Amino acid sequence: MARRAKGSDEDKPKKKGKKKARKRASRKAEDTSGIEVDVRKPVVAVVMGSDSDYPVVASCIETLEEFDIPYEARVVSAHRTPEKAHKFASTARLKGLRVIIAAAGGAAHLAGVMASLTTLPVIGIPIQTPTLGGADSLYSTVQMPGGVPVATVAIGESGAMNAALLAAEILALNDETLHDRLQAFRATMRRKVAEKNARLRERIANPS
């Protein structure tokens, strides 16, 4: 389950990589249904209003895995399962969670309700909707009343990825290893932009 940040492999010596792979393997176990799970205590919770949100939320989860951040993911709805949502948010801090990421579409009150019940940082992912394109989700996630912040990311997959990166940045305030991974991720991004630039110049210089 746990993988390293994209592109960071070449920044690490081979020996260390093997050691880390062994360490990561020891963090996995099979649960009663035979599904491989991370045995570490989750520090990030990814909650979503419905499993129909998962195709977008997947890029958040993939990014958490790339950064080797222990997380838990579940469906909770402030509208459909208010008691569960209440219990989850109000006990999250005591359970050792450090950041909550909440994804929802339409009348997306999930992130706001989470934020109203905990002082943990809450990041909201507005899910695109077929009727209003996600503007409904965006407004209902971002327009929080003063006093109850929700750090709202963009609609869709980039937003979902950024939610995980923002969570990583919050956790990296007290975690140098994670900070190193974020630096490596940025370095990879810079290299990719340089490659794009070189390709563009080549196309302009040699139009077909």
Q: Give the binding site for ligand C2R (CB under 6 A).
A: 48-50, 52-53, 77-80, 104-110, 127
For ligand C2R, the nearest residue by Cβ is: 49
**Cβ proximity to ligand C2R, 109 vs 181, nearer residue:** 109
Minimum gap (Å) between residue 77 Cβ and ligand C2R? 3
**Cβ proximity to ligand C2R, 135 vs 200, nearer residue:** 135
Minimum gap (Å) between residue 49 Cβ and ligand C2R? 2
Q: One-letter amino acid identity for 207?
A: P
**Cβ proximity to ligand C2R, 38 vs 136, nearer residue:** 136
**Cβ proximity to ligand C2R, 77 vs 183, nearer residue:** 77
Minimum gap (Å) between residue 26 Cβ and ligand C2R? 35
- At residue 64, φ and ψ (nearest 5 deg) are -60, -40
Query: Alpha helices of the chain — where are they, by DSSP H?
Result: 14-25, 54-66, 82-91, 110-117, 135-142, 157-172, 176-205
Minimum gap (Å) between residue 168 Cβ and ligand C2R? 23
To 10 degrees, what angle do helices 82-91 and 110-117 make?
40
The whole-angstrom separation of Cα 112 and Cα 104 is 10
Long-range CB contacts for residues 176-181, cutoff 8 Å, separation at least 24: 178/67, 178/69, 181/4, 181/5, 181/8, 181/67, 181/68
Minimum gap (Å) between residue 105 Cβ and ligand C2R? 3
**Cβ proximity to ligand C2R, 110 vs 182, nearer residue:** 110
